[in-house]
Amino acid sequence: MKIVNKKAYRNYSIEDSFEAGIVLTGAEVKSIKSGRCNLSDAYVKFLGNELWLVNADIARYTHDGREDYDSNRSRKLLLKKKEMDTLRGKVKQGRFVLIPLSVYTTRNLIKVQVGLGKGKREYERKGVEKDRDVKREMARIKRKHMV
């Protein structure tokens, strides 16, 4: 199961990405494996010397008996110290932001792909959309004339 954050690719130009583990409860693991996770408003930030996934919405597992579940709680990400130092340096250096790109399973583990990105301006987003529309139109015209 792979859950992708489509807004991240639209609003940011991704320079680099890292794979991180995530600390979850058992019910959250089952919920993610069933595809009930939303990363659209989520972001990653440093708190002290740790990396945290903030505002990721992992829906409550239907067969979980707990009543006091918070779906938007912050979750700790697990990265090697060297990778965390690299990310911290780049975030402090410039306009870089850490964004969760996707959540997926690897063997029996849940992993989060964290992207290091720069925010796109409005005119950059419109230019990308315009190029995509032109390519789509050209492909449609080419198919029409081939038949």
- The enclosing domain of 53 has a CATH number of 2.40.280.10
Domain count, the chain: 1
In whole angstroms, what separates CA 133 from the centre of its chain? 25
Query: What does the CA dihedral 88, 80, 46, 120 come to, rounded to 10 degrees?
Result: 60
Domain annotation covers residue 133: no
- Mean local confidence (pLDDT), 60-83: 86
Domain annotation covers residue 70: yes
pLDDT-derived band at 20, boundaries 50, 70, 90: very high
pTM as predicted: 0.79
pLDDT number for residue 112: 94
Domain annotation covers residue 28: yes
Per the structure, the complete domain to which residue 40 belongs is given by 2-120
